[in-house]
Amino acid sequence: MPRPRRSTPKMMHRATELRKEQTPAERKLWAYLRKRKVKGVKFRRQHAIGNYIVDFCATNEKLIIELDGSQHLDQTEYDEERTAYLEEQGYKVVRFWNNQVMNDVSGCILAIENALEE
């Protein structure tokens, strides 16, 4: 019996495109998350889940890391719906502002490590 798809081909294609268009904050955090540098956990970037593409995802640990820029100030309702859907799928969602990553990446990594231990 084939595994159910986690997303649509269209969303998966868009995720591939977004990997080529990282923001400075995404690029900085990815340098710390890639190659299992945080607690030996494998993270994926721009990972499609349902109709959403998350910034970073540790699929086995069911942890999602989202980076928010100023545009998220105007889309709180969308972000809440998105987070609710992802949590219904069994994921824990941790959010950081872009400036948090740019100014205190070690604090963000510590928060991610703590989330992985919960």
CATH number at residue 61: 3.40.960.10
pTM of the model: 0.87
| Cα-based torsion angle of the residue sequence 16, 21, 26, 29 in order, rounded to the nearest 10 degrees | 70
**Is residue 91 in a domain?**
yes
Identify whether 2 is part of a domain.
Answer: no
Within-domain flag for 92: yes
- Total domains, the chain: 1
Exposure letters 76-93 (e unless 16+ CB within 10 A, then b): eeeeeebbeebeeeebbb
Q: What is the pLDDT along the chain (118 residues), one digit of tens a residue?
A: 665 677 777 878 777 787 788 999 999 999 999 999 999 999 999 999 988 999 999 999 999 999 998 665 567 888 899 999 999 999 999 999 999 999 999 999 999 999 999 8
Would residue 113 count as lying in a domain? yes
Residue 1 lies in a domain: no
